[in-house]
Structure 1
């Protein structure tokens, strides 16, 4: 919302403040997997619509430009290598895929993304999409990051329940299918999903390196995603054949 001086922000005591219009509604109950299956396509469509809107802004010179490869191999892994609590297989497995990761991520399409695309920032009312909130982390990055972040955030809520976890791949396939209806994903993007999901887990492991329970959860998710490469890729690549 604009200020009385028609500005978008107020600068006060070395900080910027802004006011957003209230988005009426609530967040989805992630453990209600039947609702997620029903609304997954809608979530994907709306992320695609948001990406189209963000891409049209065309002022990403004012935003942080994030190089996902450098974030993982230049920032996160050096921190993890020095920490005694981190499972060393995380580092070993990322080193194992180092060259493939670099080649895969390098060619991906970049644009302005939301960067915090978990479902607590997606508002629904009576199962109708209302809007997105929390745009503080906007940055220029690979566009599939938002999709992968959304999917791994869902996994984090379902992971501890084996039955619910088993429904995750179907849920994410509907999200990707919805996105692809609005924004066609390239072959390179479809082939990158597993790598980008792993990168997100590495980032979270680094963030939570001092918090034992969250560190353990994100390490377990990392290993699970790593082990389920074929199943995840099959879930995603089905949309390319439709």
Structure 2
């Protein structure tokens, strides 16, 4: 990310920055001269930034710990710095759980399931739902991902056969799933804990209206992604999925339609990742291998979630 220098941080927000360190391509950790911490984020989509700020404000009204956007000296939450857009947030201290902890500690997936259930319950009544983009899982797979993979040289011959065989069944399974505002990036690193208690949730930039089990499936596949090449942990992943879904269901009941669609939505998420990494061969190959692995283990997955009903 092209950085805003310390002088501009002070100019825009009045923060005397003492140290800047990169967190990601779009985020910088800012420490001021008193060691107070903030997160500076580059914004590429202004409406998405406004939507995120609306969610953060909404959740704060329910005493949910989320990063607070800092009001600038210009009385705005988004700064235009010569055509580059930035927001500054309070920093949530704490830790994130590793994928290994998610699988080996049975309490951790229960924390995550309850957390997602709580957030979905709150966001289901969000008054500004109409301003969020709406996505269709079927369209994302068959009218975006599938086409984006057409020219990938390492694409398996099995993929096209699978997409052809599954299309009608897939469309039927996801067609009537409940939709609402979801986080859309329910990755481990976006859930901050203090000890074993939830401290807060971050990074709502991708929030959208989609099927609510997308977040559950995204969380599950993000854990699988981290342990995929560990035979023991990838086998135990099915137990983790059961605990994750069961704990969600206890707080925010899932319908039979949603249970039946979990495998399909996981395949959809892997398809989206394959499309996203179509130009990066090793990442495409990794996500393709995960897609085929999940496809071949449909019955194992069904067996792991049926007891959660």
For the aligned pair, the TM-score class normalised by the smaller chain equals over 0.9
User: Which of 231, 236, 239 is the equivalent residue of 1:170?
Assistant: 239
What root-mean-square deviation, in Å, do the aligned CA atoms of Structure 1 and Structure 2 show? 1.8
Alignment of 1:66-81 (within 5 A): 66-81=135-150
In the superposition, relative to structure 1, how do residues 185 and 24 fare at CA in structure 2: closer, same or farther (>3 Å)?
Answer: same
Q: Which moved more, 1:37-46 or 1:19-28?
A: 19-28
Deviation, structure 1 residue 59? 1.2
Alignment of 1:28-43 (within 5 A): 28-32=97-101, 33-35=103-105, 37-43=106-112
Q: Distance in 2 between matches of 1:7 and 1:214?
A: 42
Contact 2:154 2:285 in 1 (8 A): no
Determine whether 1:129 maps to 2:198.
yes
3-state SS of 1:103 partner: helix
Higher relative contact order (CA 8 A, sep 6+): 1
Q: Distance in 2 between matches of 1:237 and 1:126?
A: 31
Q: Which moved more, 1:51-60 or 1:221-230?
A: 51-60
The normalised TM-score by structure 1 is: 0.93
Residue 13 of structure 2 corresponds to which residue in structure 1? none
Residue 77 of structure 2 corresponds to which residue in structure 1? 9
Q: Distance in 2 between matches of 1:115 and 1:131?
A: 16
Determine whether 1:156 maps to 2:214.
no
Deviation, structure 1 residue 119? 0.4
Contact 1:85 1:209 in 2 (8 A): no
3-state SS of 2:90 partner: coil
Q: How many residues align?
A: 239
Residue 53 of structure 2 corresponds to which residue in structure 1? none
In the superposition, relative to structure 1, how do residues 106 and 157 fare at CA in structure 2: closer, same or farther (>3 Å)?
Answer: same
Q: Distance in 1 between matches of 2:94 and 2:177?
A: 34
Greater percentage in strand: 2
3-state SS of 1:178 partner: helix
Q: Please say which structure displays the higher CA radius of gyration.
A: 2
In the superposition, relative to structure 1, how do residues 6 and 173 fare at CA in structure 2: closer, same or farther (>3 Å)?
Answer: farther
Determine whether 1:228 maps to 2:289.
no
5+ long unaligned stretches in structure 1:
none
Residue 44 of structure 1 corresponds to which residue in structure 2? 113
Deviations 1:28-86 (A, max 9, x none): 12123323x22111110000111112222131211111111111101110121233221
Deviation, structure 1 residue 91? 2.1
Q: Distance in 2 between matches of 1:11 and 1:99?
A: 46
Greater percentage in helix: 1
Deviation, structure 1 residue 9? 2.5
Residue 88 of structure 2 corresponds to which residue in structure 1? 19
> Structure 1 runs of 4+ off > 3 angstroms?
4-8, 13-21
User: Which of 94, 101, 121 is the equivalent residue of 2:163?
Assistant: 94
Contact 1:151 1:172 in 2 (8 A): yes
5+ long unaligned stretches in structure 2:
1-68
The normalised TM-score by structure 2 is: 0.73
In the superposition, relative to structure 1, how do residues 8 and 112 fare at CA in structure 2: closer, same or farther (>3 Å)?
Answer: farther
Q: Distance in 2 between matches of 1:210 and 1:38?
A: 38
3-state SS of 1:25 partner: coil
Determine whether 1:145 maps to 2:227.
no
